[in-house]
Amino acid sequence: MDTQLIARVLLRRRTLRRRERWARAQVREHQQRQLMTLRAFATTRSPFYQRFHHGLDGAPLDELPVLTKATLMDNFDELSTDPTVRLAPVEAYLRGLHSNERFAGKYWVSATSGSSGRRSIIPSDAEEWAMTIASYARANEWAGIRSGLTHRVTLAVVSSTTAWHQSSRVAATVRSPFFVTERLDAATPLPEIVAQLNSLQSDVLIGYASMIRSLAHEQLAGRLRITPQAVNSSSEVLTAESRTLAIRAWRVGPFNVYAATETGGIAADCPQRRMHLFEDLVIPEVVDDDYQPVPPGQTGDRLLVTVLSSRTIPLIRYELTDRVRLATEPCPCPLPFRVVAAIEGRTDDLLALPTLGGGTVTVHPVVFHQVLDLLDAGGWQVRQQEAELRVLIAAPGAGFDPNATGSALHEALTRAGAEPPAISVSVLDAIPTGGAGKRPLVVALPDRADGQHS
């Protein structure tokens, strides 16, 4: 345990608690002050930003160019504000990473899995890393997860155990007598995960949304027998059906956490189960495909985030391909942060299918939810392939009819305006995992144009 870092995290968390009592005007003033500081730092220390923002010193944020993942990784060395942080040695460090050692003795480095395209790599110094951990601590506190000298909390985290994955790095950093965290690899066969959880009997269950759904199914089937006091879902879209399953399984509604490797926490559920943006940590912009702002109540095609604490790799208007819809009504809780009505997945998850007229139509994952969420099964996944849609169904109940499921999907796609391709339905014991142990519901054909998406 790094006691100096933990002390830094506790100080940052106290600062965040004070901000949670701010008025809305104070949030906006804080954003503008921090944004000015970040932009000045970036243009002074980063050769990339000197070029990228040339002539834009007085421009408002929404007139600055968008930073994509491809641009970040193609210009990593020039974007870095520390001459010791260069892509080749950082990648070599990640290949040999097995524990919690830091790059150059100073930087915690996390990376995305790159399961649907190119991966991103984010180094964090002690100040940046402390703020990342404090953002996750905020989400836990809002979910009622608190520990102290007289109350030790045990957590079971079903996620990636890969050393460079951010959740692994956070867990390795915050080991303490107050939190006992057991990490289970989400890529492990489901029966083994169930057996481990039955043995651990932890106070809190944390996992990918798809894993929470699978585990809720196992609990309702009687194979999993745990009684968590809290359930946290992260990293994937928590559907209404998955939330209902979790409530049926454990009598507690899951708290949803929205985060990214590049940013740390972006938003989380308050005690009212309404998701609030962490607007004191990031400036979010919900935009369409042309990067034009989208009003509350309308779903955007991209989320641009400016990470106010980023310094080693400054992130200003960084593009996430998440489809976010802001709420039109405030939350009754006293938090000063705006409310997220829904996170509908990534733009990458939308399927482009042909129409009878020879064009293409974009099919939203909700089309599949309307059919497949009704099944008595341990999970599902739709994989778009060149000439067909392959539908995977995990551990369906008695009476499951793959032909009926394929016909129902054919009809749903036709109603959505598509000319359905061939549909194959396969039954598996469990949905296969990706590089970080995730089980995405929809896997679209990769974007071969630029490989930007994470």
Structure tokens at 155: 């957590």
Cβ distance 248 to 218 under 8 Å?
Answer: no
What pLDDT score does 147 carry?
64
% of the chain exceeding 70 in pLDDT: 89
Task: Look up residue 67 and give its DSSP letter.
Answer: B
Q: Check whether 354 has a pLDDT greater than 60.
A: yes
What pLDDT score does 186 carry?
77
Q: Check whether 411 has a pLDDT greater than 50.
A: yes
Beta-carbon neighbour count of residue 30 at 10 Å? 16
User: Coil, strand, or helix at residue 442?
Assistant: strand
- Given the structure tokens 């949304």, which residue do they identify? 209
Q: Taking the CA of residue 411 as centre, how many other CA atoms within 13 Å lie in the half-sphere pointing to its CB?
A: 9
* Comparison of pLDDT for 386 and 83, the residue scoring more: 83
Query: CA geometry: angle at 12 spanning 9 and 17, to 5°?
Result: 125
Q: How much is the pTM? A: 0.79
Measured in degrees and rounded to the nearest 5, phi and psi for residue 208 equal -60, 150
Look at 150-159, 312-321, 401-410 and tell me which has the smallest mean pLDDT. 150-159
Q: Check whether 436 has a pLDDT greater than 60.
A: no
Q: Which of 118, 210, 208 is nearest to 446 (CA)?
A: 118
Q: Which of 270-279, 359-368, 425-434 has the highest mean pLDDT?
A: 270-279
Cβ distance 111 to 122 under 8 Å?
Answer: yes
Region 12-16 average pLDDT: 95
Region 180-190 average pLDDT: 81
Confidence of residue 453 (pLDDT cuts 50, 70, 90): very low
**Element of type H or E holding 243:** helix 240-250
Confidence of residue 448 (pLDDT cuts 50, 70, 90): very low
Structure tokens at 72: 């970040």
- Given the structure tokens 């369906």, which residue do they identify? 396
Confidence of residue 71 (pLDDT cuts 50, 70, 90): very high
- Given the structure tokens 């539908």, which residue do they identify? 391
* Comparison of pLDDT for 25 and 111, the residue scoring more: 25
Query: What region does 349 belong to: left with phi over 0, alpha with psi -120 to 50, or beta?
Result: alpha
Region 37-63 average pLDDT: 97
Beta-carbon neighbour count of residue 18 at 10 Å? 9
What pLDDT score does 366 carry?
66
DSSP track, 100-118: SPPBTTTBEEEE---TTS-
Cβ distance 45 to 38 under 8 Å?
Answer: no
What pLDDT score does 450 carry?
33
* Comparison of pLDDT for 77 and 208, the residue scoring more: 77
- Given the structure tokens 């060395």, which residue do they identify? 77
Q: Taking the CA of residue 430 as centre, how many other CA atoms within 13 Å lie in the half-sphere pointing to its CB?
A: 22
User: Coil, strand, or helix at residue 203?
Assistant: coil
What pLDDT score does 117 carry?
55
Q: Domains, the chain, ranges and CATH?
A: 3-345 (3.40.50.12780), 350-443 (3.30.300)
Structure tokens at 66: 């968008």
To 10 degrees, the CA torsion angle through 149, 151, 156, 161?
-10
